[in-house]
Amino acid sequence: MGKVLLIGAGGVGTVVAHKMAGLPDVFTEILLASRTKSKCDAIAAKIGNNRIQTAQVDADNVPELVALIKKFRPDIVVNVALPYQDLNIMDACLETGVAYLDTANYEPLDEAKYQYSWQWAYQDRFKEAGLTAILGCGFDPGVTSIYTAYAVKHHFDEIHYLDIVDCNGGDHGKAFATNFNPEINIREVTQKGKYWENNQWIETEPHEIHKPLNYPSIGAKESYVIYHEELESLVKNYPTLKRARFWMTFGQEYLTHLRVIQNIGMASIEPIMYEGKEIVPIQFLKAVLPNPGDLGDNYTGETSIGCRIKGVKDGIEKTYYVYNNCKHQDAFNETGTQGVSYTTGVPAMIGAMMYLKGIWKKPGVFNVEEFNPDPFMEQLNIHGLPWHELHNVDLEL
């Protein structure tokens, strides 16, 4: 059906490559390119059958990207490198006339601040070029936004309260590790909290609002309101929302480590001089922390991510909870990576499939909730992320 250029050979890239390789009718040719080619080669060797071609690319360099795209001529570029590369890869897609998909919104390297404005600014250029850009097609953002679109389409006339709840009930056995790229993860969870209420953003201190929430098959976990990128597009696309929040669970050990890391300056993105060389503390920290892609081996427990929604159907108030639970061990047995990489990589593969099948294909830049959720939801059940629905239950929120 189509050719894919996959950029980024980390934990998420590993899962996307595995999943695409298993669907030769959809993904006829796959080129995995990243900064370090040996990592692409290792993934390709593990998958076998010559399903994955590999290449070296520096995605910070647009001419290099353009040359690679022109040589391979993919139908879509799937970006699972880092958010810093989003705009460069979008520029290269525009220059070569190829569709684009990512899982995380653009973030400038020198400012720990992510927002969609930079990528939404590409709307006219993608539209005029007749090209599709699909933004935020991981789990959150991604599946959480599609769950919301599905709820609006099938279960509500209007949604009023949305709480996205993200629990990692797993144990990787390490004193401290992050589940995806440490630099991006620490930047995300140490920033101020923010949620939407009564048509405005309310800012909180980091981790200021918290309470225990019960997660299916996991139980009660302390959950914290943090800012998460899908809130920005969801409140824009669903203006009936009176409140929208994102909750994530953190263990006390994790938060204590995080506080120490911040207090001693290791989370800083400001460059410092060390022995005559400029280094960025958080990048140095990344180099000494466990690689998230290697956490899978002894990772027990599961993740549970979903949307808890309150709204109105036929004039009657109702609640709805849609979620997926993913066991780290199952993810590891299938792809050699832990659940967080798995829950991100599977939706990225499905998004690319939606594009190649012509189901999610329209000119412009779109967040995933702007497409038909039904065929995507169907594929989640088939490819390892089954979802469950609860109606009129106590949402605890």
Q: Which residues contribute to the site for ligand NDP (CB under 6 A)? A: 8-13, 34-36, 39, 57-60, 80-83, 85, 103-104, 138-142, 180-181, 184, 292-293, 340-341, 344
Asked if residue 329 lies in contact with residue 301, where contact means CB atoms within 8 angstroms, the answer is no
Distance CA 135, CA 138 (A): 9
**Residue 223, C-beta contacts closer than 8 angstroms, at least 6 positions apart:** 165, 167, 210, 211, 212, 213, 247, 248, 249
Is the Cα torsion angle 40, 41, 44, 49 positive or negative in sign? positive
Between 156 and 165, name the residue whose CB sits nearer to ligand NDP: 165
Please state whether beta strands 388-391 and 219-225 pair in parallel, antiparallel, or not at all (unpaired).
unpaired
For residue 237, the minimal CB distance to ligand NDP (Å) is 17
Count the Cβ atoms, other than its own, within 10 Å of residue 46. 14
Q: How far is the CB of 317 from ligand NDP (least distance, A)?
A: 30
For residues 13 and 281, which CB has a smaller minimum distance to ligand NDP in the complex? 13
Q: Give the shortest CB-104-to-ligand NDP separation in angstroms.
A: 3
Closest to ligand NDP by CB, 148 or 344: 344
Least Å from the CB of residue 12 to ligand NDP:
3
- Phi and psi for 197 in degrees, rounded to 5? -150, 135
Task: Give start and end residues of each alpha helix (H) in the chain.
Answer: 11-21, 37-47, 62-72, 86-96, 117-120, 123-129, 143-154, 182-190, 230-237, 252-263, 281-288, 328-335, 339-356, 373-382
Residue 137 CB, nearest approach to ligand NDP (Å): 7
Residue closer to ligand NDP by CB (options 59, 331) is 59
> With contact defined as beta carbons under 8 Å apart, do 39 and 62 qualify?
no
Query: Which of 90, 64, 88, 59 has its CA nearest to residue 76?
Result: 90
Nearer to ligand NDP, 57 or 354 (CB): 57
When the beta carbons of 117 and 240 are compared against ligand NDP, the nearer one is 117
Omega before residue 182 within 30° of 0, cis = no
Min separation Cβ 230 and ligand NDP, Å = 8
Question: CB of residue 285 vs ligand NDP: minimum separation in angstroms?
Answer: 13
Q: How far is the CB of 64 from ligand NDP (least distance, A)?
A: 9
Closest to ligand NDP by CB, 35 vs 46, is 35
Per the listing, tokens 């909750």 go with: 247
Judged by beta carbon, residue 122 or residue 156, the one nearer ligand NDP is 122
Q: Indicate the residue whose CB is closest to ligand NDP.
A: 10
Q: Do 104 and 142 touch, CB atoms closer than 8 A? A: no
Three-state secondary structure call for residue 284 = helix
Smaller CB distance to ligand NDP: residue 68 or 99? Answer: 68
Nearest approach in angstroms of CB 72 to ligand NDP is 15
Report the SS3 class of residue 29: strand
For residue 25, give Cα distances in angstroms to 86, 205, 346, 392.
28, 49, 17, 41
Q: 63: which 2 tokens?
A: 């001419």
